[in-house]
Amino acid sequence: MRIALGLEYNGSHFHGWQTQKSGVRTVQLAVEQALSSVADHEVQIYAAGRTDTGVHADAQVVHFDTHACRPSHGWIMGANIKLPADVSVLWAKEVPREFHARFSARGRTYRYFILNRMSRPAILSRRVTWIHRPLDAGLMHQAGQVLRGRHDFTSYRTVHCQAKSPVRNLHSLTVSRHGDFVIMEVHADGFLHHMVRNIAGVLIAIGSGERDPDWAGEVLMHRDRRLGGMTAAADGLYFHRVDYDAQYEIPVIARDAGLLMV
């Protein structure tokens, strides 16, 4: 049978999602080891999106195949007993064989949290990106609207990105202020390597007054990463939601952005 799981994790102490030959600590390795123990056989998982070192997730979706028969709560509780404290299984359900966590996804959403105040974070250290200089969230939102739609995002991906095509359809981009926090939310059919962090880097430069609002569009049109802005830190980035066809009945966990700010 094929089982889908929902995961959340704090990526601060992981070397990204994907298992590496060097054997460093990764989310995939931790989850596969836990599930293999519960299933009593080796398990390989496939994720909706591969997050980088330091990036978090509150709604990652994975799937795996198994011949072990366990109730949903058995997968949840059994895996969570074996997992480290910074990873948790939120839900589990059997899905049709044609379901694929990555290839069945219709869209993905990331959130980027910026703590915008003079003092650095303590409680939220490594869970938000700290920018001490004042940011104009309204200007950042306005500047980001030029990125909506289907574009060649070469300027907004790392030069090491292995995606065959740089074209993505960015459905929405919002930037809003909530007290000392500036939150960017981006929804697209898919993302390139470092795409969200590079967008955040450009909008931070605009919001701080270092660049004019038109710069976001100029960077896009250059189609040259060397002419783009800085790559924003990983600390504030969260893999927030995955969209699937209703037929799969994949749970959607509503997350209030304010929960991070408490």
Query: Is 52 one of the catalytic residues?
Result: yes
Distance in angstroms (rounded) separating the CA atoms of residues 147 and 134: 23
Question: Any residues with CB less than 8 A from the CB of 72 and at least 6 apart, and which?
Answer: 91, 92, 93, 94
Distance in angstroms (rounded) separating the CA atoms of residues 86 and 14: 9
- Please report where in the chains the tokens 């980088």 appear, as a residue: 52
Is 12 in contact with 54 (CB distance < 8 Å)?
A: yes
Is 79 in contact with 31 (CB distance < 8 Å)?
A: yes
Q: In angstroms, what CA-CA distances link 112 with 183, 225, 226, 227?
A: 6, 21, 23, 22
- Please report where in the chains the tokens 């990036």 appear, as a residue: 55
Cα–Cα nearest to 182, from 247, 254, 246, 130: 130
Which H/E stretch holds residue 243? strand 237-243
List residues bridging with 173 in a β-sheet: 186
Go through 199-231 and write b for each residue having 16 or more CB atoms within 10 A of its CB, e for each that does not.
Answer: bbbbbbbbbbeebebebbbebbeeeebeebbeb
Q: Which of 52, 136, 180, 243 is catalytic?
A: 52
Catalytic residues: 52
